[in-house]
């Protein structure tokens, strides 16, 4: 009923504008063609919204349409009285001693500034309910960007108001698109989304495109921009050719200024524009869509390695492939594993366990912690040990990216989140690799599908199916979400439901922070001198989660032992919890409290390694385990310990079980002989020493070679 009443009000406004226009025509003569075009704008907007109301596609309140009606009526009055308004402006200028050209120029400048402010409102109001709390510096920067863009269009349209209005329309279209993306996916539009517009269009039919009150307010801003635009007219110039040339020159100059502004990060850094990709939509609302979008776009480029040449790097990769083929690839063990893999086609289950790490490496003996009882001590594992990761306390998707693609963040860049930045359909992918072998490929994560854009990323990486939180309804919950054990049950279910070989990627949830939930009952309490009672309690809760994960994994592997089909399991933690830095500081005797007794040392909360001045190698290590429920040909299966990193883990596993290897993976395994691990912090050498990424002179040649090869296999293919 309310929607129908709103529709009637909107129709009444349309009738009112039409009647007013007819009266004006009788008194002043027929409106000019330009005025009729400007009048069509509010009429079309009102009629369009009335139609949406009738169709039940307006879901806002009554206030916003009233504001729109007021804007429409005001806009139509400005258009009809344009000549009188412009004459009054000229007279006002004459009183101040301005010439007519001076008055025209100043009025046009004010109109363009007003258009930029209205463009800012048009892009923000549809989706941004926090606009009134936006910091002034972000709003001003966005208005400046819009002003330059409107200026480009103003001169391109030969100083007619249509240029400014087109700019405002583009702003509204952006805001409307962001409104729908926020409504459907609770996500922000990122630059890499522009690369998959075809896919987005293909799946867009399943949504209901209803609008809210913010969209209507954005339309009101657009109508006010139309009113201002109707008052912008070109200044008379004797030579038409000279006018066109001068305007095009001004447009080009403003475009160059705009490009310089948006491509030089220092301007944005000075104003504090930043991005946390887990909360990208929140940052868009705080900083403005355009400023935030540009900040993300500035993150996109991956530095080209010095001296990069595609042909030369192809030969370099081929030399490492030959090295692998002539060494490990030519071994009897590898030949046996290959034959077995072809015959048995084992399923492969990869488990990235949330925040799983062995904190006993942080001097656990001094505070009574021995580490997980199973992971790290499985005497029948193919391999196990420490995993050198690039993130701490968060940034799960980056470890995930490294594992699934084999691309180390060391060669992508600090602070970047490929899941949010790039079209990964061109990236190397374990899922695609196994799919090409005839495997059914499934990703699962018992949380929202849109987290870290996984719904889009998994499809781009070639997974056949993605099981998210909806697929775990009613399953067991532990600590922060669906239990590890419940995800393992889902893995078993997938194996039971198909005789085809499976590639399953399971991203668990139960161990996610915070660790002050007190929802585990009585757990073993640990005490570290220098930590507050609060942080000791958090540490104890975290370690209880790890114990449960360790127990659940051992039970899962016991169940796999009973299966009459070959299965390989790759288990690894994505990062340590942020509280590891507080623990390490306390163990090192560093001051970790402020005057109130609050802990002030802490992790980056998802930041990358080189961005944390207090980071040490020990806090950027998790644990991994490669295990099989059958005797893998050519492998001792004696629980040997090997240092590794997520980007190597896929190639390492495929090499051990005899799976076909890509040239990139062969090159990685050959390079790994000289450089057993690599992350954003740096690299491990064959003798066990660690070289920081900042110590360029000490980095081995293999580090530079892998940079070249990785650029060839990944960055060079990005569009």
Helix (H/G/I), strand (E/B), else coil: 283: helix
Report yes or no on 260 lying in a domain.
Answer: yes
pLDDT, tens digit (0-9, with 9 covering 90-100), for 279-331: 678 889 999 999 999 888 887 789 899 999 999 999 999 999 999 999 999 99
Report yes or no on 51 lying in a domain.
Answer: no
User: Residue 387 above 90 pLDDT?
Assistant: yes
Report yes or no on 247 lying in a domain.
Answer: yes
Cα 62 → chain centroid: 35
Judgement on whether residues 501 and 613 belong to the same structural domain of the protein: yes
| Residue pair 175/225 in contact by the 8 Å Cβ criterion | no
Residue 714 CA to residue 719 CA, distance in Å, equals 11
Confidence label for 395 from pLDDT (cuts 50, 70 and 90): confident
Residue 437 CA to residue 502 CA, distance in Å, equals 10
Query: Which pLDDT score, from 0 to 100, does residue 198 have?
Result: 55
pLDDT, tens digit (0-9, with 9 covering 90-100), for 252-289: 999 999 998 888 766 677 777 877 665 678 889 999 99
Q: Which two tokens stand for residue 502?
A: 């499976």
Confidence label for 27 from pLDDT (cuts 50, 70 and 90): confident
> What percent of the chain lies above the pLDDT cut of 70?
93
Place of tokens 């040449």: 309
Where is the domain boundary, 274, 299, 324?
299
Q: Which two tokens stand for residue 93?
A: 């200028």
Confidence label for 416 from pLDDT (cuts 50, 70 and 90): confident
Judgement on whether residues 280 and 139 belong to the same structural domain of the protein: yes
**Candidate from 34-38, 227-231, 545-549 with smallest mean pLDDT:** 34-38
Confidence label for 197 from pLDDT (cuts 50, 70 and 90): low
Judgement on whether residues 640 and 672 belong to the same structural domain of the protein: yes
Report yes or no on 532 lying in a domain.
Answer: no
Judgement on whether residues 151 and 171 belong to the same structural domain of the protein: yes
pTM for the full predicted model: 0.74
Report yes or no on 14 lying in a domain.
Answer: no
Judgement on whether residues 243 and 330 belong to the same structural domain of the protein: no
153, containing H or E segment: helix 136-156
User: Residue 381 above 60 pLDDT?
Assistant: yes
Residue (of 454, 138, 133) closest to 277 by Cα position: 454
Judgement on whether residues 484 and 350 belong to the same structural domain of the protein: yes
User: Residue 195 above 90 pLDDT?
Assistant: no
Residue 302 CA to residue 190 CA, distance in Å, equals 17
Residue (of 511, 514, 513, 517) closest to 553 by Cα position: 511
Judgement on whether residues 174 and 213 belong to the same structural domain of the protein: yes
Judgement on whether residues 318 and 233 belong to the same structural domain of the protein: no
Confidence label for 238 from pLDDT (cuts 50, 70 and 90): low
Q: Which two tokens stand for residue 690?
A: 């660690």
Report yes or no on 533 lying in a domain.
Answer: no
> What percent of the chain lies above the pLDDT cut of 90?
73
pLDDT, tens digit (0-9, with 9 covering 90-100), for 429-444: 999 999 999 999 999 9
Helix (H/G/I), strand (E/B), else coil: 107: helix
pLDDT, tens digit (0-9, with 9 covering 90-100), for 574-607: 999 989 989 998 998 875 543 334 444 433 334 4
pLDDT, tens digit (0-9, with 9 covering 90-100), for 129-180: 889 999 899 999 999 999 999 999 999 999 999 999 999 999 999 999 999 8
- 671-694 burial by CB neighbour count: b if 16+ within 10 A, else e? bbebbbbbbbbbbbbeeeeebebe
Query: Which pLDDT score, from 0 to 100, does residue 718 have?
Result: 87
User: Residue 204 above 80 pLDDT?
Assistant: no
Report yes or no on 2 lying in a domain.
Answer: no
Task: Please list the residues that pair with 466 across neighbouring strands.
Answer: 443
Judgement on whether residues 447 and 419 belong to the same structural domain of the protein: yes
Judgement on whether residues 228 and 261 belong to the same structural domain of the protein: yes
CATH at 348:
3.40.720.10
Query: Which pLDDT score, from 0 to 100, does residue 492 have?
Result: 98
Judgement on whether residues 346 and 485 belong to the same structural domain of the protein: yes
Query: Which pLDDT score, from 0 to 100, does residue 202 have?
Result: 46
| Residue pair 167/120 in contact by the 8 Å Cβ criterion | no
Q: What angle do CA 468, 453, 218 make, to 5 degrees?
A: 115
Report yes or no on 4 lying in a domain.
Answer: no
| Residue pair 432/461 in contact by the 8 Å Cβ criterion | yes
- Average pLDDT of span 519-548: 95
Q: How many CB atoms are located within 10 Å of the residue 62 CB? A: 12
Query: Which pLDDT score, from 0 to 100, does residue 201 have?
Result: 59
Residue (of 417, 408, 422) closest to 672 by Cα position: 408
Judgement on whether residues 223 and 130 belong to the same structural domain of the protein: yes
Please provide the average confidence, as pLDDT, over all residues in the chain: 90
| Domain encompassing residue 126 | 81-299
Query: Which pLDDT score, from 0 to 100, does residue 296 have?
Result: 83
Number of domains in the chain: 2
Q: Which two tokens stand for residue 56?
A: 């039940």
Query: Which pLDDT score, from 0 to 100, does residue 397 have?
Result: 92
| Residue pair 38/231 in contact by the 8 Å Cβ criterion | no
pLDDT, tens digit (0-9, with 9 covering 90-100), for 616-648: 788 999 999 999 999 999 999 999 999 999 999
pLDDT, tens digit (0-9, with 9 covering 90-100), for 548-572: 999 999 999 999 999 999 999 999 9
Where is the domain boundary, 275, 299, 323?
299
For helices 533-561 and 579-587, give the axis angle rounded to 10 degrees. 120
């Amino acid at each position: 009923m309310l929607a129908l009443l709103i529709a009637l009000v909107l129709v009444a406004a349309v009738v009112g504008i039409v009647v007013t226009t007819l009266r004006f025509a009788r008194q002043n003569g027929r409106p000019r063609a330009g005025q009729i075009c400007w009048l069509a704008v509010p009429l079309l907007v009102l009629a369009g919204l009335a139609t949406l109301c009738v169709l039940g596609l307006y879901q806002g309140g009554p206030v916003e349409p009233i504001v729109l009606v007021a804007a429409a009526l005001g806009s139509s009055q400005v258009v009809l009285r344009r000549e009188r308004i412009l004459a009054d402006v000229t007279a006002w200028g004459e009183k101040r001693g301005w010439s007519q050209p001076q008055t025209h120029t100043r009025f046009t400048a004010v109109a363009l500034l007003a258009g930029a402010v209205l463009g800012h409102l048009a892009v923000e109001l549809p989706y941004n309910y926090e606009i009134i709390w936006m910091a002034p510096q972000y709003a001003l920067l966005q208005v400046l960007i819009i002003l330059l863009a409107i200026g480009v269009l103003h001169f391109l349209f030969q100083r007619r108001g249509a240029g400014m209005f087109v700019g405002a329309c583009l702003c509204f279209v952006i805001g409307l698109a962001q409104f729908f993306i926020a409504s459907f996916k609770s996500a922000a539009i990122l630059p890499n989304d522009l690369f998959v517009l075809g896919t987005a269009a293909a799946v867009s039919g399943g949504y209901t495109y209803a609008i809210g009150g913010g969209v209507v307010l954005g339309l009101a801003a657009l109508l006010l921009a139309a009113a201002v635009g109707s008052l912008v007219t070109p200044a008379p110039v004797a030579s038409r050719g000279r006018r066109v040339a001068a305007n095009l020159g001004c447009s080009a100059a403003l475009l160059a200024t705009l490009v310089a502004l948006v491509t030089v990060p220092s301007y944005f850094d000075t104003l504090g524009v930043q991005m946390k990709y887990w909360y990208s939509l929140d940052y868009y609302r705080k900083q403005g869509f355009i400023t935030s979008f540009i900040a993300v776009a500035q993150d996109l480029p991956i530095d080209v390695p010095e001296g990069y040449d595609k042909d030369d790097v192809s030969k370099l990769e081929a030399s490492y492939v030959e090295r692998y083929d002539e060494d490990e690839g030519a071994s009897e063990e590898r030949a046996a594993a290959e034959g077995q893999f072809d015959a048995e086609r084992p399923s492969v289950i990869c488990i990235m366990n949330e925040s799983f790490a062995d904190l006993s490496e942080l001097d656990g003996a001094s505070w009574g912690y021995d580490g997980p009882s199973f992971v790290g001590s499985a005497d029948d594992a193919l391999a196990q040990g420490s995993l050198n990761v690039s993130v701490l306390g968060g940034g799960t998707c980056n470890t995930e990216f490294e594992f699934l693609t084999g691309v180390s963040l060391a060669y992508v860049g600090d602070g970047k989140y490929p899941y949010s930045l790039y079209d990964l359909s061109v990236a190397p992918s374990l899922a695609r690799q196994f799919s090409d072998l005839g495997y059914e490929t499934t990703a699962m994560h018992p949380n929202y599908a849109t987290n870290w854009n996984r719904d889009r990323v998994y499809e781009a990486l070639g997974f056949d199916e993605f099981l998210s939180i909806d697929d775990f309804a009613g399953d067991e919950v532990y600590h922060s979400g669906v239990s590890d054990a419940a995800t393992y049950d889902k893995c078993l279910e997938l194996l039971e439901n198909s005789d085809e070989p499976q590639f399953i990627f399971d991203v668990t949830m139960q161990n996610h922070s915070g660790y002050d939930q007190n929802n585990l009952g009585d757990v073993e309490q640990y005490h570290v001198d220098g930590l507050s009672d609060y942080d000791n309690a958090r540490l104890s809760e975290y370690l209880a989660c790890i114990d449960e994960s360790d127990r659940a994994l051992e039970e899962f592997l016991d169940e796999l032992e009973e299966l009459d089909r070959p299965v390989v399991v790759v288990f690894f933690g994505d990062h340590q919890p942020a509280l590891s830095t507080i623990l390490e500081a306390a163990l090192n005797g560093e001051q970790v409290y402020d005057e109130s007794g609050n802990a002030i040392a802490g992790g980056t909360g998802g930041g990358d390694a080189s961005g944390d001045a207090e980071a040490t190698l020990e806090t950027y290590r998790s644990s991994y385990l490669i295990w099989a429920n059958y005797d893998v040909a050519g492998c001792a299966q004696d629980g040997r310990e090997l240092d590794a990193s997520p980007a190597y883990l896929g190639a390492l596993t495929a090499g051990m079980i005899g799976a076909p290897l890509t040239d990139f993976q062969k090159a990685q395994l050959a390079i790994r002989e000289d450089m057993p691990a690599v992350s954003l912090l740096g690299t491990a050498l064959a003798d066990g020493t660690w070289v920081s990424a900042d110590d360029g002179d000490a980095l081995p040649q293999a580090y530079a070679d892998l940079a070249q090869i990785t650029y060839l296999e990944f960055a060079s293919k990005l569009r």
